[in-house]
Amino acid sequence: MKRNRIHRNLLLLGALALGAALLAQRWGGWRGGGPWRGGRFAEYNEIRTAREVPSGSTGTPVWTNAPGFEHDVFTFARIRYSGTRFGRGGGWATDLPDSDLNLSFRLQQLTSMKVDPNGRVLNLTDPDLVDYPFIYIVEPGGLTLTPEEVLALRNYLLNGGFLMLDDFWGEAEWANCARVMRDVFPDREWVELPLDHPLYRCVFDIRSKGQVPNIGLGIESQWNGGVTWERPDAQEVHHRAIFDDQGRMMVIATHNTDNGDGWEREGENDYYFHNFCEKIAYPLGINILFYAMTH
C-alpha cells in the first residue's frame, strides 16, 4: 500500500484537534435520483471517481488541496462489483456519490488529513488497487465475486489492505456475505468486536453499536415507537471483523445498519441528521478509517 501511507501519522495528529461539535455545518443543493435509483447504474460501469456521478441528495461539497500535493492524500475507494444475488443489480453504487464525498469532506474538515476531493471507484482486479489502503463495499448481502476477484481481494487484504462492508440487513444477507468471505478466507472466522475494542475510542468515544436506518425509516422512527430496523430479523447491530495472523484487522462488517445512508442523506432532514448522521454514522465511519490507517 504505497499511496496514503503518510496519513497514518497525520490521522493520529488530527485526532488531537477533532471536535464532535463541528458536525453542524451542512450544504444545500438539488435533490435528485442517483444512478441506482433511476435504474441507470449501467452508465457508471466505467467511471473512475465518485465526482463523475451527479448528486442523488442535496449536493456534494467541493474542496481542493495545495498544488503539488494533490496525490499525497487519503482516498475513499469504493469497489464496483458485477455479480449480485436475489435478482438485484447495481448494489455496488448505492449511495454514490454523496456518501463517499460527504464522508471524505468530514475527514478533511475534522482531522488534519488531506483527502482526495474526487474519491475513487475500482474493480477488485484493477492493477492500481494496491495504491488504496482502504476499500468500501456496499450491500454485500447480494454480493457475488468471480474466482479472479476472490484471489485479488485475498491478496489485497493479506498485503495490508482494509475492507469495510456496509448496509445489509437480516440473516439471509449475512449468510451471503459470510459465504463470499469464506471463499476469500476459508480458514478465518468472524469475530464480534466488543465495545472495549480500541476502534471505539480512537477518535470519538463510542459506547454502543447504534443503528442507522435509511432516511425514510429514520424519519418515521419519531412516530413509530423507535423502529429503525428494515426487517424483523435485523434488530440487533453487529460489528464483526476478520483478523490476520498478526492480529491486524483486515475486514469490518457493519451489519443491520446503513452508515452509507447516514453519510449520503445528512442534508435532507434535521431529525435524521442529528440522530443518525451526527451521532452514529459519522463517528463510526471516522473511527473505522482512523483505526484502519493507524494499525
In a domain, 175, yes or no: yes
Domain count, the chain: 1
Q: What is the pTM of this model?
A: 0.89
**Domain annotation covers residue 118:** yes
Query: What CATH number has the domain bearing residue 151?
Result: 3.40.50.12140
Question: For the segment 44-91, what is each residue's pLDDT rounded down to a tens digit?
Answer: 788 999 999 999 999 999 999 988 877 889 999 999 998 776 545 458
For 24, list phi and psi in degrees, rounded to 5: -90, -15
In a domain, 77, yes or no: yes
Say if CB 121 and CB 49 are below 8 A apart.
yes
What pLDDT is attached to residue 279?
Answer: 97
Long-range contact set of residues 129-132: C-beta below 8 Å, sequence gap at least 24? 129/156, 129/161, 130/1, 130/2, 130/156, 130/159, 130/161, 131/1, 131/2, 131/3, 131/4, 132/1, 132/3, 132/4, 132/75, 132/77, 132/161
Question: What is the predicted pLDDT for the residue at 68?
Answer: 83
Q: pLDDT tens, 156-178?
A: 999 999 999 999 999 999 999 99
What single-letter amino acid sits at 6?
A: I
In a domain, 26, yes or no: no
What distance in Å separates the CA atoms of residue 42 and residue 18, rounded to the nearest whole number? 39
Provide the angle, in degrees to the nearest 10, between the axes of the packed helices 98-110 and 282-294: 70
Q: Which residues, in sequence order, are CB contacts of 251 under 8 Å at separation 6+? A: 157, 162, 163, 164, 165, 181, 241, 242
Q: Does some domain include residue 34?
A: no
* pLDDT (0 to 100) of residue 31: 35
Report the length, in residues, of the chain: 295
In a domain, 28, yes or no: no
pLDDT of residue 101: 98
Q: Which stretches of the chain score pLDDT less than 50? A: 2-22, 24-39, 87, 89
Boundaries of domain holding 194: 7-18+46-294
Cβ atoms of residues 244 and 251 within 8 Å: no
- Asked if the structure places residue 33 within a domain, the reply is no
Q: Is residue 213 part of a domain?
A: yes
13 to 113, 148, 161, 179, 194: CA distances (angstroms) = 9, 38, 22, 38, 26
